Structure 1
Amino acid sequence: MTVTRRSEWPERPPPRDRGGPSTSRADEGPPRTPRDPVERARAISLRLLTGTPRTRRQLADALRERDIPDEAIDTVLDRFEEVGLIDDAAFAAAWVESRHHGRGLAGRSLARELRTKGVAAPVIDEAVARLDPEREEETARALVERRLRATRGVEPVKRLRRLVGVLARKGYAEELAVRVVREALAAEAAEAPGTTDERWRDGF
């Protein structure tokens, strides 16, 4: 009987590749580390600023909601302020101009809106101060003028109070609102004597 030596045995074929992913730890590579929080903060802030100016406080709040550490937030936002990507003073000035012209808001309402956006009090004061009293009164008169026709036929005292309420909701002081509305109603009555119920004079 012929005995086959061990060295002459055929080699065992390599295991078949079944096409599945390797489970070797060496093939998995090093464990992933969290992305640098400063880089995350920068990327998020730039995305939020695209097309929409924001205050520093708005950006900081948005970053905290995404679990960015305060240290990374301060690093990024300080740098953004240095290069002018964040400018609360410019934001406040533009906000006052836009909202007063577009919505007819008075200084008190504008200041309240800016406070909710985290703008500092001195910055708000400076921005709102650009609205001089004459301009506010002119805007108030225009608002009342636009509402006069729509309120004709309303009981006189109720009409007076409704028009004053329009101005009050936009932040105008009551004294200014009452005076402007009274003058508008008086001018309307003078244009067509005898056709306007003047019992509104008893209101306020």
Structure 2
Amino acid sequence: MGELLQFPGARASGDAQEEGVERRSAPSRLPREVAEQTLDDIERVAGPDARRRAEQAVGPVDQPRWTVPGVDEGSVAAPPPEPTSTRASKRAENVAIAALTRHDASEGEIRAKLVAKGLEEQDVEAELDRLRRAGLVDDAAFAVRLVDRLRERKGLGDQAIRSTLRGRLVPQAVIDAVLVEQAEDEDVAEARLLEVAEDRARRLGSLAPDVAERRLTAYLMRKGYSGSSVRTAVRAALASAGLR
């Protein structure tokens, strides 16, 4: 069942050895309840006589630990203690949570707010690391949410969306990856463009057709659309509004 235990102070004879029990030195004294459990394990594995000899050999129960092979092998080290909060770390947390409570924010925006409050770099980075681990900041998820809102609520094209994401301090690599991942079907994008163009054209009814065309084209370009799709949408929207 394991290597033999040589009890402290006992002879190395056969009657002083019990199968399946071993002594391990420990750097510190064990709590009473742990030592009692260990002695119980010795009795269970090797019998009551082994327990009595172990008790006689080790003296008080908080002396160096007696273990049974396979019973205590899998003990897991205690996790490191949480960092002690400081005044600066608490202030950083308050600033970050207040910003996230008001509106959705990128990691870069939170960093800028923390720096603006005069916090040291190590406190800023420690707070951002805490927010990342808690899932409170995630630039990729933030960018996906913002892309959806900009398309659905503001009717923006990808060029304007890209510019908006840069303005919200989202890293360029994240912007590129998200726009590829969230790429729209061509028919869906053209339908949105036409809808935006027609809505705007209805407001240009008092203008001459050529002026309305220039105004509508410029408007759609500011919305982040370009190319032949803009020209097609302008013609269709002006015709629908009776301006051609």
TM-score, normalization: structure 2? Answer: 0.59
Structure showing the higher helix proportion among its residues: 1
The answer (yes or no) to whether the contact 2:198–2:238 under 8 Å persists in 1 is no
Q: Kindly tell me: are residues 64 and 42 of structure 1, through their superposed partners in 2, closer, same or farther at Cα, counting changes over 3 Å? A: same
Q: Which has the higher contact order (CA 8 A, sep 6+)?
A: 1
Cα distance in 2 for residues equivalent to 1:197 and 1:37: 62
Q: How far apart are residue 73 of structure 1 and its match? A: 0.6
Q: What is the match of residue 104 of structure 2?
A: 53
Q: Kindly tell me: are residues 48 and 70 of structure 1, through their superposed partners in 2, closer, same or farther at Cα, counting changes over 3 Å? A: same
Structure 1 unaligned spans of 5+: 1-34, 190-195, 199-204
Q: How far apart are residue 51 of structure 1 and its match? A: 4.3
Cα distance in 2 for residues equivalent to 1:197 and 1:90: 43
Q: How far apart are residue 56 of structure 1 and its match? A: 0.9
Question: Is 1:182 the equivalent of 2:235?
Answer: yes
**CA RMSD of superposed structures (Å):** 1.9
Cα distance in 2 for residues equivalent to 1:78 and 1:176: 44
Cα distance in 2 for residues equivalent to 1:84 and 1:103: 28
Q: What is the match of residue 144 of structure 1?
A: 197
- 1:119-166 CA distance string (max 9 Å, x none): 111211233231423322211100111123322342121111111112
Greater mean alpha carbon deviation, residues 119-128 or residues 52-61: 119-128
The answer (yes or no) to whether the contact 1:105–1:170 under 8 Å persists in 2 is yes
**1:1-80 aligned within 5 A:** 36-80=87-131
Q: How far apart are residue 168 of structure 1 and its match? A: 0.8
Aligned to 1:151, what secondary structure does the other structure show? coil
Cα distance in 2 for residues equivalent to 1:37 and 1:70: 11
Question: Paired residue for 1:167, among 220, 224, 227?
Answer: 220
Q: What is the match of residue 156 of structure 1?
A: 209
Q: Kindly tell me: are residues 153 and 66 of structure 1, through their superposed partners in 2, closer, same or farther at Cα, counting changes over 3 Å? A: closer
Q: What is the match of residue 135 of structure 1?
A: 188
Cα distance in 1 for residues equivalent to 2:115 and 2:173: 25
Cα distance in 2 for residues equivalent to 1:147 and 1:51: 32
The answer (yes or no) to whether the contact 1:104–1:143 under 8 Å persists in 2 is yes
Q: What is the match of residue 7 of structure 2?
A: none
Question: Is 1:121 the equivalent of 2:179?
Answer: no
Cα distance in 1 for residues equivalent to 2:202 and 2:164: 30
Q: Kindly tell me: are residues 153 and 87 of structure 1, through their superposed partners in 2, closer, same or farther at Cα, counting changes over 3 Å? A: same
Q: Kindly tell me: are residues 197 and 87 of structure 1, through their superposed partners in 2, closer, same or farther at Cα, counting changes over 3 Å? A: closer
Structure 2 unaligned spans of 5+: 1-85
- 1:64-123 CA distance string (max 9 Å, x none): 111100111111101211120101111111111111111111111111111111111121
The answer (yes or no) to whether the contact 2:106–2:137 under 8 Å persists in 1 is yes
Cα distance in 2 for residues equivalent to 1:137 and 1:146: 14
The answer (yes or no) to whether the contact 2:143–2:170 under 8 Å persists in 1 is yes
The answer (yes or no) to whether the contact 2:96–2:110 under 8 Å persists in 1 is yes
The answer (yes or no) to whether the contact 1:41–1:76 under 8 Å persists in 2 is yes
The answer (yes or no) to whether the contact 1:164–1:174 under 8 Å persists in 2 is no
